[in-house]
Structure 1
Amino acid sequence: MSKSPALKFPVHIPFVEQLGFELHSIGDGMAELRVDLKEAHLNSWEVAHGGVLMTLLDVAMAHAARSIHRDQPDFGPGVVTVEMKTSFMRPGEGELRAVGKLLHRSTTMAFCEGSVFGEDGKLCAHATGTFKYLRALPSRGRSLKDLKRRDEQA
């Protein structure tokens, strides 16, 4: 895989940073992420844990959904996953590449697909997902949580 420099994620996502995901492109309804698998990413078969693949797919699709708001600060509203269906084809090993694509959107919803490719370029997993655009997230006590912007991180 050719190495392009990683970009900064438009928002602060501690879980994604902890997993070591890198954003390599975002725009025009597409996003690409990569992760170089480490021992902490593996299952008992010593291949990528399904949860890592699903998270990679989720984040790639979410960024594809947000990419259409590139002209707005921090890519506009955030998104939350409403539903996701994932199929696993083969084990993920080495450096994985996830590509998310926006298939259709309305003012409040985005319908996406994502694929994860192994180091050999073969398809490891595929997903479809539905995302809701939100400016704030209702939480406990009926308060609203604002999207944590990149420049607001501690």
Structure 2
Amino acid sequence: MLGFELISFDAGRSELALTVREELTNSRNMAHGGVSMTLLDVAMAHAARSPNQADQPDSHGVVTIEMKTTFMRPAVGRLLCRGHLVHRTASMAFCEGSIFDDAGAIVAQASGTFKYVRALPPGGKRHLPLDASE
């Protein structure tokens, strides 16, 4: 759909790339803010659940609890997004992410808090209970 490319995903770090296409742009011909925020969210979530963390099995997922984003310049062309895990507890992960343009200039930056959840069973989505207390 959006066309994110997963470049790396290991040891509390992740890198994703996106080439901004016309259908992802706003009226100013730059990536819509929601596209940039989604790229940051996905990069930070991957960093939070990345492999090779001795105390966090690969079989867990994460859900976003909160996220703050700062936009610094237009997001155009090929974008590189880096996420990293800053700190984690048994149930939460605190991450940061940055988007860079082709010239290496920072485009946007975010911080996010994620909750660890059990992985879904093989085959994909399942309906969650309405109270979602897990």
State the TM-score bracket (shorter-chain normalisation).
Answer: 0.7 to 0.9
Aligned Cα RMSD in Å?
2.3
Q: What is the distance in 1 between the residues matched to 2:127 and 2:90?
A: 19
The residue correspondences of 1:5-24 to structure 2 (distance < 5 A) are: 18-24=1-7
8 A Cα contact 2:8 2:15, kept in partner: yes
Counterpart secondary structure, 1:92? coil
Query: Identity percentage over the alignment?
Result: 54
The alpha-carbon distance between structure 1 residues 106 and 140, as it changes in their structure 2 partners (threshold 3 A), is closer
Residue of structure 1 equivalent to 2:107 = 124
Q: Counterpart of 1:79? A: 62
Which of the pair is proportionally richer in helix?
1
Q: TM-score, normalized by length of structure 2?
A: 0.85
Q: Mapping of 1:50-65 within 5 angstroms? A: 50-65=33-48
Per-residue deviation, 1:81:
0.1
Partner of 2:18: 35
Residue aligning to 1:66: 49
* Deviations 1:99-139 (CA, angstroms, capped at 9, x unpaired): 00000001110000000001111000000000000015873
C-alpha distance in structure 1 between counterparts of 2:65 and 2:51, whole Å: 19
Contact 1:69 1:76 in 2 (8 A): no
Are the equivalent residues in 1 in contact too, given 2:9–2:51 (CA < 8 A)?
no
Equivalents in 1 of 2:3, 2:72: separation in Å?
Answer: 23
1:67 aligned counterpart, secondary structure:
coil
Q: How many residues align?
A: 125
Distance 1:134 1:90, change over 3 A: same
Structure 1 gap segments, 5+ residues each: 1-17, 144-154
Opposite residue 92 of structure 1, the aligned amino acid is: A
> In 2 relative to 1, CA 47–91 (structure 1 residues): closer, same or farther, beyond 3 Å?
same
Normalised by the length of structure 1, the TM-score is 0.75
Structure 1 counterpart of 2:122:
none
CA drift of 1:140 comes to 5.2
